[in-house]
Amino acid sequence: MPNLISSVLQLKCPKCREGDLFCNKSSYQYKGFFDMPKKCTKCGQDFEIETGFYYGAMYVSYALTIAITVAVFVALSVLNLFSIGIFLITDLIALLLALPYVFRVSRSIWIALMIKYDKNAIQHKHEHQAS
């Protein structure tokens, strides 16, 4: 069984943990960057739960942005490299590099908070289609 953390980080469907949340697997290609399938290709879970569902993901990405900033601050302090100028530049670069992934993983975390894992999700879909 794929675990919660790795399936969230790999941007998988929260219900079956096998289908992909995004059409284009690479977070660093511009084409189709925002595109998500309407439903999970594996288990049929709806990814557009309601209009504006992903607005809540903004709070998640805000929290992640703060976490990255804190991590940069701690890393520079530990390495004894801290100065305000180096901190601002390093933080800016780190945030820009992380931005595409932060955007996607925020949605992944957000939907995982709302939908429970169902280890029989894919099987259920097939049963449903057969009947």
DSSP letter string, 37-80: -SB-TTT--BS--STTGGGGHHHHHHHHHHHHHHHHHHHHHHTT
- What residues numbered 45-64 form the site for Zn ion, per CB under 5 A? 45
Q: Is 111 in the site for Zn ion (CB under 5 A)?
A: no
According to DSSP, residue 9 is labeled H
Under the criterion CB under 5 A, does residue 15 sit at the interface with Zn ion? yes
The yes or no reply on residue 102 touching Zn ion (CB under 5 A) is: no
Q: Does 124 bind Zn ion (CB under 5 A)?
A: no
Among 21, 36, 43, 72, contact with Zn ion (rule: CB under 5 A): 43
> How many residues of this chain interact with Zn ion, rule: CB under 5 A?
8
| Residue-wise burial string across 105-124, b where 16 or more C-beta atoms lie within 10 A, e elsewhere | bbbbbbbbeebebeeebbee
Q: Which residue has the tokens 């209009």?
A: 51
Q: Binding Zn ion by CB under 5 A: which of 33, 42, 90, 94?
A: 42
Residues at the site binding Zn ion, with contacts judged by CB under 5 A: 13, 15-16, 19, 40, 42-43, 45
